[in-house]
Structure formats: structure tokens, C-alpha cells
């Protein structure tokens, strides 16, 4: 089974990813519209990277495999660019360019790591059950890594604010009455650099474990000279109906959960008033997700993946509505977060568990085509990054228009209403749109099992052919 991915898929801590725009404006004191531009451009400017990586990674195998060279070469550059994202340059002009350049470079380097890492599942086994199990282990460790990142960055950074614990005692709603002091700002900069350095070390250690612990299976001799060209592969992959429906469906559901995750820290802080507890609440969500991934793995094995999608994704809807409907109480926030983490686990696991089935279905329909696996994963990664950029951009722009004040301990009522919309109404609508699209997803359990039988017959036939050819040479 594959080893653990570095702490998250594209960021090293949930809290950091959900608040990156706010942190840039806070630590660097640049206008909040500028981080919005960076967040929108991040997935957009390196959009060619997934396709280029997929074509290159799908090429000839090396002594350590097809995917592993990309993973090893991209990790040091991803760590360097991630560290520079959180470094505040000692200049007044050009900070926006600094963050734009290094955020785009980080997204590109992380894509160079994530595409081959994700596609590695297809190269360690041909058995669907083993691949599903490996995916479940991978996503469990990934969510656990997110918990670790949340704990490191959230706990180190969380104690640096000088806002009063009880803002209800403040007179009026003057959003500028309390602001971050210079001492607190310097402490926050130092805290971010410490936590970022720790996460970078963990990233490199996880990459080393991956290299030492995972070996790609050897390819059949028959496959080595019949690789798919990029242009033909692009047309065939984007013409495969199950893939298109899977990607579009999960694009909507992923956008829903990213909006929820991206604004939940601010929602807890400014709307519910849990300023001193939001890091712990986020930890509860991710711990709940980590512990329930094995449950969803059992559920999809027992009842099928489509049923797991319907039940797992919709599980969060009542709690999204509940959290904005009831009066703020800390214990209720913890209970709702505990329950919502169950859906977060499903959102992490199910898309990556269903993607290998689509690749198998494509292989059954196109038995003479090879070298296509990385293409499927690269576009899937691209749409995940696209959803991330859209969610972060929408969130920052919405808060800007609502009157969000950088560094203020109190925010206008319009900000509270906007946060309620971003963590409840909009995600619920997006979830139902995504589920309606996934309802038309054609690969059910019967078709999946039929594909497995056909692929096994093809594999047995190839093995017999190679054995016969070897015997004739002897």
C-alpha cells in the first residue's frame, strides 16, 4: 500500500489553507483584493502543469518506476516555495508580486508531486479490492496528516492574537476598536515561520518514507512500446462519459466542502464568537474524519460506492443548516463539528476510490491503449485545484464586499451574514447539484465487477503470451 502523503494535498494545514488570504493581508498589511488575485491565479497560471506532468509521467519507466522520479524531484522545490509563501519580504513595494509568483510556483510543484503520487495507486496492484484498500489507507493517513498540520500551525499561531477573550463587553460594534498590535504582529510572523518550518520537515520525511516503502509493479513487456500520445489521450479521456460525470459531480461537491472549510475558522471566530476555541474545533472535525474513513471503506465495500456517495455527502447537510440556525453554544459547536467530520471523511475518500474504477472501465473499452493512467489523475487534480481557487477567491471577494476589516477583532453584521451563507446555504445547494450529476454516473457495482473479470482475463492472456514467447526463445 502507498505511504503517507505529506501533510495535505495542497496545503500543510487546514487552518492555514482556510485563512491564507486573511493571513497575507494581516501579516503583510496588503489590500485584501490582492490576495484574492493570487488565489484565483494560483490554480489558473500553472493549469498546464497537470497535463504536462501526466504526459511526461506516463512515458518510459525508469529503474525506480514511472512516477517516483517526479515525486522525488518535485518535493524539495514544493517545500521551498511553500516556505517562501509564508515569509514576509522586508520591502513595502512588490509584496503582491512575491506572493503571486511563489504561490503559483508552489501550486505547480505540488501538482508535479500530487499527480504521480495519486496515480501510483494504479501501478502498485491490478486488483480492485487491493487498490480500494490502499486508497482508504492513503486517505486515512492524509486526513491524519491534515490533523497534524492543523495542530502544528493552528496551535502555534493561535495563541498570538491580542484580541480580548470576551468582545461582548466592548461597547458598540466599532470594528476598529481592537486591532492587532505591532508586538502581536511580529509574534505572529515568527509563529508562522516556525510552524511552516516544522511542516516542511515533515513533508520531506514523508516523501522519504514513500520512496523507501513503495515499489511500482513491473509492467508487461507488451505494454512498453504502445504508449498513448498526449493529444490522442486528451481527446479519449475527455470523451469518456463516466469520467466526465464523475469529475463534474465531484467538482460541485468539492467546491461545497472547500467553501465550508475555507470559511469555518472565520465563522467560528466572528459569527459564533469561539475566538479561543476554533483551532480545537477544527481538530475535532479532522479527527472525526480520520476515525470514520475505515467506516466508509466498509460501507462502500458492503453497499457499493454510489450509495456511499449519497449517504456520506448528504450526512453533512443537516449539520450545515443546524450550525447557523441555533444560538451560539460551544458544546453544540463541538457536537456539530464531530458529526460534520463524518462527511469530511466521505468527501476525502470517495472521489479517489471511484477514480480507479473509471480508469478500469476505460481500459476495458480501449484494450490497446496504454500510458493513460496519469492523464485521468492529472485532470482530476486540476479540477480539485480549480475548485480550491474558486472557493478561496469567492470567499475573499465576498468578505471584501461585506466590509471585512483586516486585523479587526470585531466585524460588521454583514460579514456575519456572509459567513453564514458561505458555510451553509451555498454548500448545501452545490452538494445537491453535485449529487444530481452523480446520479447519472453509469458505473454501478455490477459493471465494476464485470470490468474486473474482463481485466483479469486480459491480464491472464498477456501472461500466457509472454510465457509462450519466452519458451519459444528457449
**pLDDT at residue number 418:** 92
Q: How far is it, in rounded angstroms, from Cα 346 to Cα 316?
A: 10
Q: How far is it, in rounded angstroms, from Cα 162 to Cα 171?
A: 18
Contacts 24+ apart (CB under 8 A), 311-314: 311/346, 312/342, 312/343, 312/345, 312/346, 312/347, 312/350, 313/253, 313/343, 313/346, 313/347, 313/350, 313/431, 313/434, 313/435, 314/431, 314/435
The residue assigned the cell 513487456 is: 221
Cβ 372 vs Cβ 243: under 8 Å: no
Alpha helix positions (H), 326-444: 330-365, 373-402, 413-420, 426-438
Kindly report, residue by residue over 278-334, the tens digit of the pLDDT. Answer: 778 888 888 888 889 889 989 988 888 999 999 999 998 998 898 888 877 888 888
Cβ 79 vs Cβ 229: under 8 Å: no
Kindly report, residue by residue over 206-251, the tens digit of the pLDDT. Answer: 889 888 888 877 665 444 445 567 677 778 888 899 999 999 999 9
**pLDDT at residue number 168:** 52
Which residues, listed in sequence order, are joined to residue 408 by a DSSP beta bridge?
179
Give me the domains of the chain, ranges plus CATH numbers.
19-38+65-159+186-212+236-363+372-441 (1.20.1250.20)
Q: How far is it, in rounded angstroms, from Cα 304 to Cα 427?
A: 25
**pLDDT at residue number 467:** 53
Smallest CA-to-CA distance from 71 within 226, 193, 195, 213 is with: 213
Q: Which SS3 state, helix, strand or coil, does residue 408 take?
A: strand
Cβ 312 vs Cβ 296: under 8 Å: yes
Provide CB contacts within 8 A for 118, sequence distance 6+: 352, 377, 380, 381
Q: How far is it, in rounded angstroms, from Cα 303 to Cα 59?
A: 37
Q: DSSP labels for 2-71?
A: --PPSSSSSSS-HHHHHHHHHHHHHHH---THHHHHHHHHHHHGGGHHHHHHHHHHTS--BTTBSSHHHH
The residue assigned the cell 493570487 is: 38
pTM for the whole thing? 0.77
Helices (H) and strands (E) in the chain, counts: 19, 0
Cβ 312 vs Cβ 347: under 8 Å: yes
Cβ 376 vs Cβ 243: under 8 Å: yes
Q: How far is it, in rounded angstroms, from Cα 215 to Cα 221?
A: 18
Instruction: Give the side-chain half-sphere CA count within 13 A for 150.
Output: 22
- The 8-class DSSP code of residue 406 comes to T
Three-class HEC string of 69-92: HHHHHHHHHHHHHHHHHCCCCCCC
The pair phi, psi for residue 65, each rounded to 5°, is: 110, 180
pLDDT tens, residue order, the chain (474 aa): 333 333 333 333 333 333 444 444 444 444 555 555 555 555 555 445 545 555 555 555 667 777 888 888 889 999 999 888 888 777 767 777 887 788 888 888 888 888 888 888 888 877 778 888 888 888 888 878 777 776 776 666 655 555 655 555 444 444 444 444 554 667 777 777 888 888 889 889 988 988 888 887 766 544 444 556 767 777 888 889 999 999 999 999 999 998 988 888 888 888 888 877 877 888 888 888 888 988 998 998 888 899 999 999 999 899 889 888 887 788 888 888 888 889 988 988 888 889 989 988 998 888 877 767 778 888 888 888 788 878 878 888 888 888 887 667 788 889 899 999 999 999 999 999 999 999 999 998 889 889 888 888 877 776 655 555 545 555
Q: How far is it, in rounded angstroms, from Cα 124 to Cα 126?
A: 7
CA angle 81, 82, 87 (to 5 degrees): 90
Cβ 103 vs Cβ 38: under 8 Å: yes
The per-residue b/e assignment along 447-457, b for 16 or more CB within 10 angstroms, e otherwise, is ebeebbebbee
Which residues, listed in sequence order, are joined to residue 227 by a DSSP beta bridge?
370
Provide CB contacts within 8 A for 405, sequence distance 6+: 175, 176, 411, 412
Which residues, listed in sequence order, are joined to residue 65 by a DSSP beta bridge?
62
Q: How far is it, in rounded angstroms, from Cα 363 to Cα 375?
A: 13
Q: How far is it, in rounded angstroms, from Cα 82 to Cα 76?
A: 10
Surface-to-core class of residue 156, CB atoms within 10 Å of its CB (0-12 exposed, 13-18 middle, 19+ buried): buried
The residue assigned the cell 466526465 is: 244
Amino acid at each position: 500500500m502507498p505511504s503517507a502523503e505529506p501533510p495535505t494535498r495542497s496545503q500543510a494545514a487546514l487552518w492555514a489553507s482556510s485563512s491564507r488570504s486573511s493571513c497575507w493581508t494581516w501579516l503583510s498589511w496588503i489590500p485584501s483584493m490582492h490576495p484574492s488575485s493570487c488565489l484565483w491565479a494560483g490554480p489558473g497560471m500553472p493549469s498546464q502543469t497537470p497535463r504536462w506532468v501526466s504526459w511526461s509521467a506516463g512515458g518510459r519507466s525508469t529503474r525506480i518506476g514511472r512516477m517516483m522520479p517526479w515525486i522525488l524531484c518535485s518535493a524539495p522545490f514544493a517545500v521551498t516555495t511553500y516556505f517562501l509563501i509564508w515569509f514576509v519580504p522586508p520591502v513595502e513595494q512588490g509584496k503582491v508580486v512575491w506572493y503571486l509568483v511563489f504561490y503559483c510556483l508552489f501550486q505547480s510543484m505540488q501538482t508535479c508531486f500530487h499527480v504521480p503520487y495519486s496515480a501510483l495507486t494504479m501501478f502498485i496492484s491490478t486488483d480492485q479490492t487491493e487498490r480500494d484498500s490502499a486508497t482508504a489507507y492513503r486517505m486515512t493517513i492524509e486526513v491524519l496528516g491534515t490533523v497534524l498540520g492543523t495542530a502544528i500551525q493552528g496551535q502555534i499561531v493561535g495563541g498570538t492574537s491580542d484580541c480580548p477573550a470576551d468582545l461582548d463587553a466592548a461597547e458598540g460594534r466599532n470594528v476598529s476598536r481592537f486591532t492587532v498590535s505591532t508586538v502581536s504582529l511580529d509574534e505572529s510572523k515568527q509563529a508562522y515561520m516556525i510552524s511552516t518550518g516544522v511542516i516542511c520537515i515533515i513533508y520531506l520525511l514523508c516523501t522519504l518514507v514513500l520512496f523507501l516503502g513503495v515499489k511500482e509493479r513491473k509492467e508487461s513487456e507488451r505494454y512498453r512500446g504502445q504508449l498513448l500520445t498526449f493529444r490522442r489521450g486528451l481527446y479519449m479521456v475527455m470523451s469518456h462519459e463516466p469520467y466526465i460525470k464523475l469529475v463534474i459531480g465531484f467538482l460541485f461537491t468539492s467546491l461545497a466542502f472547500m467553501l465550508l472549510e475555507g470559511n469555518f475558522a472565520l465563522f467560528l471566530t466572528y459569527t459564533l464568537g469561539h475566538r479561543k476555541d476554533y483551532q480545537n474545533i477544527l481538530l475535532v472535525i479532522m479527527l472525526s474524519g480520520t476515525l470514520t474513513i475505515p467506516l466508509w471503506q466498509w460501507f462502500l465495500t458492503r453497499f457499493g460506492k454510489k450509495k456511499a456517495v449519497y449517504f456520506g455527502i448528504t450526512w453533512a447537510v443537516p449539520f450545515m443548516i443546524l450550525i447557523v440556525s441555533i444560538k451560539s453554544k460551544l458544546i453544540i459547536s463541538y457536537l456539530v463539528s464531530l458529526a460534520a467530520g463524518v462527511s469530511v471523511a466521505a468527501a476525502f475518500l470517495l472521489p479517489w476510490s471511484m477514480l480507479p474504477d473509471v480508469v478500469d472501465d476505460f481500459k476495458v473499452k480501449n484494450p490497446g491503449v496504454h500510458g493513460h493512467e496519469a492523464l485521468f489523475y492529472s485532470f482530476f487534480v486540476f479540477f480539485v485545484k480549480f475548485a480550491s481557487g474558486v472557493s478561496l477567491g469567492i470567499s475573499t471577494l465576498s468578505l471584501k464586499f461585506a466590509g471585512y476589516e483586516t486585523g479587526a477583532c470585531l466585524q460588521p453584521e454583514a460579514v456575519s451574514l456572509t459567513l453564514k451563507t458561505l458555510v451553509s446555504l451555498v454548500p448545501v445547494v452545490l452538494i445537491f447539484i453535485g449529487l444530481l450529476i452523480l446520479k447519472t454516473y453509469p458505473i454501478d457495482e455490477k459493471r465494476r465487477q464485470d470490468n474486473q473479470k474482463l481485466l483479469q482475463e486480459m491480464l491472464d492472456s498477456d501472461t500466457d503470451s509472454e510465457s509462450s514467447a519466452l519458451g519459444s526463445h528457449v
